[in-house]
Amino acid sequence: MAGRLQGKVTIVTGGTSGIGRRTVEVFVREGAFVLIAARREKEGNELADSLGERAEFLRTDVSLEADVKAMVAYAVDRFGRLDCLFNNAGGPAPVGGIETIPLEDAEAAMSVLFGGVLLGMKHAAPVMKAQGGGSIINNGSVAGIRAGYSSSMIYSAAKAAVIHLTRCVAMELGELNVRVNSISPGGVATGIFGKALGLPMEEAEKSAEIVKQALASWQPIRRTGMTDDIAMAAVFLASDESTFVNGHDLVVDGGLIGGRQWSVQQEGLNLLRAAFGVGGPEA
């Protein structure tokens, strides 16, 4: 049986770890040809080799326009078209209060988190317009929707910019049948938390299990987010199942930003009842 992305040509940036790596694996499983674009050559080549002829790796730094332009050109030269671009590449940003953040560190983080998305859309757009359609997916975050969900306010600001830029570009490219949407993950068990807290790359990648346990109670659905949750959302937006979805931010967070959890609300009400000396609802 054909997969949901059968024959589609896709690019996944930041495809050697975390959400990006799992998305590459799932896209290939669903029948896509995938160009893995990332900075780590050893990991990228090993992943491509493990997935067979449907995956290739190209070393790419998304903060460099020449690299992004070459990435898009390579995909088109190799596969003849470009059906989907998942702008997933990211990384940590400076932490601390507003008075302590070095401008140069903030700008470096923005060049990847925001600039990489902008450049990806800039160079994918003419290809998709010329071929009559395509799907661009940008990786946002619940931290870009609500304050306090990242260790870095710069990361949060960058993701907010990504989400709104997605809407703006969707209004332009949608008129030419090029859909632009974003996915905003909640707490997902990857190494990004360890990286943000300063762990070396190898140690950070091994920290996902700790994250999995720590985040399990953050949202009404009592488990942490998994990379599969985001990869499957990306499959939907890359597929022909979502041809009328444009300018949308798909939040995949188990209800994290929906409001106060029921159990927390009830605890607060019980404290009020105790303070007022009244019984519970069953009294």
**Residue 28, both tokens:** 């290939």
Cβ-contact 125, 168 below 8 angstroms: no
**Residue 207 in this model has a pLDDT that exceeds 90:** no
- pTM score, whole prediction: 0.90
**Residue 204 in this model has a pLDDT that exceeds 60:** no
Question: pLDDT band at 216, cuts 50/70/90?
Answer: confident
Question: pLDDT band at 219, cuts 50/70/90?
Answer: confident
Cβ-contact 45, 69 below 8 angstroms: no
Domain spans in the chain, listed from the N-terminal domain onward: 9-276
d(CA 134, CA 258): 31
Cα torsion 60, 196, 85, 223: sign: positive
Residue 170, Cβ density class (10 Å: 0-12 exposed, 13-18 middle, ≥19 buried): buried
Query: Quick one: pLDDT at residue 283?
Result: 47
Cβ-contact 228, 26 below 8 angstroms: yes
- DSSP assignment string, 166-188: HHHHHHHHGGGTEEEEEEEE-SB
Question: pLDDT band at 33, cuts 50/70/90?
Answer: very high
Provide the β-strand partners of residue 10: 34, 84
CATH superfamily for domain 9-276: NAD(P)-binding Rossmann-like Domain (3.40.50.720)
With a CB cutoff of 8 Å and minimum separation 6, the contacts of 174 are 180, 246, 247
Cβ-contact 85, 129 below 8 angstroms: no
Query: How many other C-beta atoms lie within 10 A of the C-beta of residue 228?
Result: 14
d(CA 256, CA 39): 32
Residues labelled as active-site residues: 155
Average pLDDT over residues 32-38: 98
* pLDDT tens digits for range 237-270: 999 999 999 999 999 999 999 998 899 899 999 9
Task: Spell out a b/e string for 267-283, using b for 16 or more CB atoms within 10 Å of the CB, else e.
Answer: eeeeeeeeeeeeeeeee
Cα torsion 107, 111, 117, 123: sign: positive
137: left (phi over 0), alpha (psi -120 to 50) or beta: beta
- DSSP assignment string, 188-220: B-STHHHHHTT--HHHHHTTHHHHHHHTTTSSS
The phi and psi torsions of 250 (rounded to 5 degrees) equal -85, 105
Cβ-contact 112, 89 below 8 angstroms: yes
